Amino acid sequence: MKNIELILLCVIIVLLIIMILSPLVRKNKKNNIDRLLKILPNESKELKTLQSYKEKAEDYDRLEENLERLRAKNEEYKEKNSTLLEDKKGLETKLTNKDKEVADKLKEIEEQNKAKKEILEKVKKAEILKEYAGKVVDYLDFCGNILNTANEKISKADVEIAKIMSIFLQQALSKIAEMAKWQYICKDINENAIAILNKDLKNCFQSDKETEQFNAFKKLCISKIKSFTNAILILCEAYSKLSKFVENVESVSSFENEFKNKIAEIKNSTKDVGIIEIAEAEIFTNISNNKGIETTYGNISFPYSTVKNLNSGDIAEIIEFGMKTEFEDMTKTKVLIN
């Protein structure tokens, strides 16, 4: 555009020179010059229009360039947006999974707290029971040792005697099945000074007073100990009379003496746990020679039923020894007589 303007300017200058120097030419060409002068203003206007078009074209070029850049940016943003959407989706999935993990953990904690609460409701401080529970554990250890000794003696006896002794041992064991369980309960109380409230112990803690709790626990223990002691006393009494069940009397004399002594040891040991006295009662002797005896009715069990040469009124079998405790007066020994 600038070159065109320069050319036109040169043309105008040349024409003006011609007009000055050559009147004839000026005269002859007057009509052409007039037309040219008429055209020139229009050319200037068109030049301005063209100039404006050029500027607009340049603006369009710039806009096109900007548009291309914007398109490229838009594509870039689309890619980033797609990535962000994927990231967002991944984060939402992770958040959902994390929420589930948190919910599951909270549920687990709630269940654990519930279980702890239930356990705590079944646990009581038992410092006041600790010392007595230790005595019960020691006594039940003593009883367990007697049972072990009885079992060991079976392996040292001949076949006939071992058979009889095994029957007596099995009869005793069937009546003291809970001894190990109760020993475990008392051991736990003695070592940890806490009581896990099973069905039996729950009743011991109905009162808030420690003295009443102790008495209830001791009374409960004695009732269990009576049952265990009775079974072991009957076992020892039978072992102390083995000569009545076998023909070879001499082979069992040492067994008889040993278990007769154990009866005395049991009666002495029970005093530590609250059984003050155990009635004197001896099988295969006349009922009149035993005090505090109560005859009960029933069939004499094997192998007591095999014993011969018993007189009328002789005690054929002891069912339950009479005992006096801190909570109960002396009870009668229940026996079956011949």
Over the chain (338 residues), the average pLDDT of each successive run of 10 is 58 61 50 57 60 66 74 76 76 78 77 66 86 97 96 89 94 92 94 88 90 95 96 96 85 90 96 95 93 92 93 95 95 95
Query: Which residue carries 């058979």 as its tokens?
Result: 163
DSSP element (H, E) containing 336 = strand 333-337
Residue 337's pLDDT is 95
Residue 250's pLDDT is 78
Question: What contacts 180, CB < 8 A, 6 or more positions away?
Answer: 144
Report yes or no: 306 and 173 within 8 Å, Cβ to Cβ: no
- Omega within 30 of 0 (cis) for the link into 303: yes
Residue 1's pLDDT is 53
What's the Cα-to-Cα distance from 105 to each of 108, 110, 111, 112, rounded to whole Å? 5, 8, 10, 10
- Measure the N-to-C terminal CA separation of the chain; round to a whole number of Å: 151
Full-model pTM: 0.66
Q: Which amino acid is at 300?
A: I
291 conformational bin, left if phi > 0, alpha if psi -120 to 50, beta if neither: beta
